[in-house]
């Protein structure tokens, strides 16, 4: 299961093309493109039924599962699944598929024979990877971390990762396996998961958001191993991929870890490094590096032939499949699977956004823009920056909500040049002496910087979320209006944040912030360096996906935020419990489909 699979029925290779809205079928002997099938809008993950020649395809943007006939390579049916389906696991004996619905915080159980969703189970935040084991358990990785009991935001040990284990028999929770922070930081961005024997492999990032920040410690690539017999983390089998004494060169953004058929090797797909890392795991507590293989631009998955000889890598932004000889550890072939659909600028910007292996972007190949903004969203963490603790904002709709950063210190998207040089410690895309952030514009200083800004402006799709009827949301909408929320969060962008002049002209007093964009809502933190004048107003678009809240991540959820008395903590709360419940429900479902509320301020 994943973005690329091998059919056991005829040995064909199936690979998704998310930007083309298609799936490509390859033959392997000879290696050739057999057909490209237009299907959906953003196909993301595939699975094949072992007992009949059916391919199942998840489309994230449409929230659908498409069923394809593997013999004639054609769509036979489609099933409405739910918002943002990321991954699936098949229970072939029961003819079921388990599908994670990332923005609904649910697991959908699909009856493959009836072609319908039989049940939806509520689970913890942002379910991502899923696996079904032979002993009747379902494992779910949660992409974002969770605040520990007694934990504090912006600390290297304040959060934890989680794997939820369900019983396939009655869908009850068997256990929630906690991944504790370690010397490399917080387990975050848990990705696709896979199994081999009694081990579950969980590629992820370790994040250390507090000071001091080190080049290879702030964002650290790793793979955690779960002992499926005891349902606990196998700490002795942990793979610290950025430990240079064990694994050599630093790497970035592990998205998939694929065991070899014999269980002696692990192939880790590194989306930010454009490589596959090959690790000897024959002695689980003594892993060793075998080598690195080229994987094209931004690889997202890998399938291995049943004899373990060939590896097929989905090279997302190369628009190719790379064929790797896993015996000789070399690239055997490469084949184009789809035509380019993005403009040259957006494609180049997307490549730069996801890359860590370019010294202009990152010193030591350890971090990329996507390290904190996966899929253009947020990692759900609060980082300590020169301004103080700052919660990672999402980038969807970012071009409409200038100025940028919580302190309103950037007046154009091109100012990310400062992030590249100051936070990622790259050489920079523009070269030369950078102007002050609110000084002379950075636009047109570099074609690559222009491309990165263009991608952020037009290339990031806001996620869909669970939709409810207008009648269900109207009570909360009424409370939103009655309480005056549109004064700060009204209008088409769900925020009043906007530039009042051209970039380069907005810092008349030279204090380094756009003062007109700041609003004091009583959230100044003792760790803040900037913030006495207030903070920029965030958008409420997809706010359910952007916890924790406020600039310092000090509020864990929307109900707590409302009960805090926001927009001023000293205000007395006059809302009843039913009104709070209705308002939270409305806020959680604000998306691109929601009719905006006019700002009468």
Relative to beta strand 64-69, strand 74-80 is antiparallel
Residue 516 and residue 422 share a domain: no
According to the 3-state scheme, what is the secondary structure of 174-240? EEEEEECCECCEEEECCCCCEEECCEEEEEEEEECCCCCCCCCCCEEEEEEEEECCCCEECHHHCEE
- Two structure tokens written together for 558: 């929307």
pLDDT at 345: 98
In this structure, is residue 187 part of a structural domain? no
Task: Confirm whether 309 is domain-assigned.
Answer: no
Domain boundary among 122, 146, 161: 122
State the Cα–Cα distance between residues 282 and 246, nearest whole angstrom.
15
- Clarify whether residues 503 and 390 are in a common domain: no
User: In this structure, are 10 and 117 located in the same domain?
Assistant: yes
**Same domain (yes/no): 14, 65:** yes
Residue 382 within a domain: yes
Question: pLDDT at position 217, please?
Answer: 73
3-state DSSP call for residue 545? helix
| 455: three-class secondary structure by DSSP | helix
Tokens of 442: 């950075």
pLDDT of residue 325: 98
Q: How many domains does the chain have?
A: 3
Judge whether 383 lies within some domain.
Answer: yes
Residues 426 and 482 in one domain: no
Let me know whether 405 and 511 are in one domain: no
Are both 447 and 501 inside the same structural domain?
no
pLDDT of amino acid 212: 82
The pTM assigned to this predicted structure is 0.96
Residues 428 and 483 both lie in one domain? no
Q: What is the pLDDT of residue 600?
A: 63
Which pLDDT value is given to residue 216?
A: 66
User: Is 191 within the bounds of a domain?
Assistant: no
Question: What pLDDT, on the 0 to 100 scale, is given for residue 134?
Answer: 87
Task: Quote the CA–CA distance of 311 and 306 in Å, as a whole number.
Answer: 10
Q: Look at residue 601 in the predicted model and tell me its pLDDT.
A: 52
Torsion of CA 571, 572, 574, 578, to 10 degrees: 90
Over residues 203-258, the pLDDT tens digits come to: 999 999 998 876 667 899 999 999 999 999 999 999 999 998 999 889 999 999 99
Instruction: Verify that 451 and 552 share a domain, yes or no.
Output: no
For 477, the token pair is 């909408």
State the residue range of the domain holding 439.
347-458
- Shared domain check, 478 and 449: no
* 405-428: pLDDT as tens digits: 999 999 999 999 999 999 999 999
51 part of a folded domain: yes
Is there a domain that residue 210 lies in?
Answer: no
Which DSSP string do the residues of 418-451 spell out, in sequence order? HHHHHTSB---SS-SPPPPTTSS--TTS-HHHHH
Domain boundary among 432, 458, 484: 458
Beta carbons of 523 and 551 less than 8 angstroms apart: yes
> Residue 567's pLDDT is what?
85
Q: Does residue 87 lie in a domain region?
A: yes
Assess whether 425 and 476 both reside in one domain.
no
Segments in the chain below pLDDT 70: 214-216, 569-573, 600-601
Q: Please check whether residues 395 and 490 belong to one and the same domain.
A: no
> 109 to each of 43, 54, 104, 115, 117, how far by Cα in Å?
19, 17, 14, 11, 6
The CATH code of the domain that includes 401 is 1.10.760.10
Last residue of a domain, one of 98, 122, 146: 122
Q: What CATH number should be reported for the domain holding residue 40?
A: 2.130.10.10
């Amino acid at each position: 299961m994943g973005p690329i699979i091998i059919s056991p029925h005829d040995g064909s290779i199936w690979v998704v093309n998310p930007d083309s809205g298609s799936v490509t079928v390859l033959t392997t002997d000879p290696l050739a493109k057999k057909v490209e099938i237009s299907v959906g809008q953003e196909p993301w993950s595939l699975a094949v039924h072992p007992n009949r020649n059916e391919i199942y395809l998840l489309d994230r943007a449409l929230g659908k599962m498409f069923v394809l006939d593997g013999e004639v390579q054609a769509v036979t049916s489609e099933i409405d699944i739910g918002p943002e389906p990321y991954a699936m696991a098949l229970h072939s004996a029961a003819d079921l598929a388990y599908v994670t619905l990332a923005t609904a915080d649910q697991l959908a159980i699909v009856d493959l024979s009836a072609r319908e969703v039989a049940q939806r189970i509520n689970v913890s935040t942002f379910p991502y990877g899923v696996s079904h084991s032979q002993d009747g358990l379902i494992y779910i990785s949660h992409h974002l971390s969770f605040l520990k009991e007694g934990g504090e935001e912006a600390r290297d040990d304040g959060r934890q990762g989680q794997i939820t284990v369900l019983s396939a028999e009655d869908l009850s929770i068997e256990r929630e396996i906690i991944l504790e922070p370690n010397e490399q930081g917080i387990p975050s961005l848990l990705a696709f998961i896979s199994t081999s024997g009694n081990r579950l492999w969980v590629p992820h990032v370790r994040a250390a958001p507090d000071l001091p920040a080190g080049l290879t410690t702030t964002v650290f690539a790793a793979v955690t191993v779960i002992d499926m017999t005891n349902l606990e983390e196998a700490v002795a089998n942990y793979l610290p991929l950025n430990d240079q004494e064990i694994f050599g060169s630093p790497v970035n953004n592990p998205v998939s870890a694929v065991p070899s058929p014999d269980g002696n090797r692990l192939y880790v797909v590194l989306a930010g490094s454009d490589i596959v890392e090959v690790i000897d795991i024959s002695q689980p507590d003594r892993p060793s590096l075998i080598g690195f293989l080229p994987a094209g631009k931004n690889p997202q998955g890998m399938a291995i032939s049943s004899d373990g000889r060939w590896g097929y890598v989905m090279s997302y932004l190369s628009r190719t499949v790379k064929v790797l000889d896993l015996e000789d550890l070399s690239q055997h072939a490469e084949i184009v699977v789809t035509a380019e659909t993005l403009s040259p600028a957006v494609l180049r910007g997307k490549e730069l956004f996801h890359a860590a292996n370019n010294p202009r972007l990152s010193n030591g190949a350890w971090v990329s823009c996507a390290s904190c903004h996966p899929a253009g969203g947020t990692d759900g963490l609060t980082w300590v920056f020169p301004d103080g603790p700052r919660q990672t904002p999402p980038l969807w709709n970012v071009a409409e909500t200038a100025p940028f950063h919580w302190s309103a210190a950037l007046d154009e998207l091109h100012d990310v040049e400062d992030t590249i040089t100051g936070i990622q410690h790259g050489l920079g895309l523009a070269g030369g002496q950078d102007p002050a952030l609110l000084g002379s514009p950075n636009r047109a200083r570099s074609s690559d910087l222009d491309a990165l800004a263009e991608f952020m402006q037009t290339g990031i799709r806001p996620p869909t979320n669970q939709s409810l009827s207008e009648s269900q949301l109207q009570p909360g909408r009424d409370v939103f209006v009655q309480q005056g929320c549109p004064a700060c969060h009204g209008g088409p962008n769900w925020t009043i944040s906007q530039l009042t002049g051209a970039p380069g002209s907005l810092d008349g007093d030279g204090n380094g912030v756009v003062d007109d964009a700041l609003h004091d809502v009583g959230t100044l933190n003792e760790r803040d360096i900037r913030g006495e004048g207030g903070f920029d107003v965030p958008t409420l678009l997809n706010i359910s996906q952007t916890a924790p809240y406020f600039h310092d991540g000090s509020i864990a959820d929307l109900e707590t935020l409302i009960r805090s008395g926001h927009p001023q903590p000293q205000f007395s709360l006059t809302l009843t419990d039913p009104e709070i419940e209705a308002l939270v429900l409305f806020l959680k479902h604000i998306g691109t489909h929601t009719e905006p509320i006019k700002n009468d301020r």
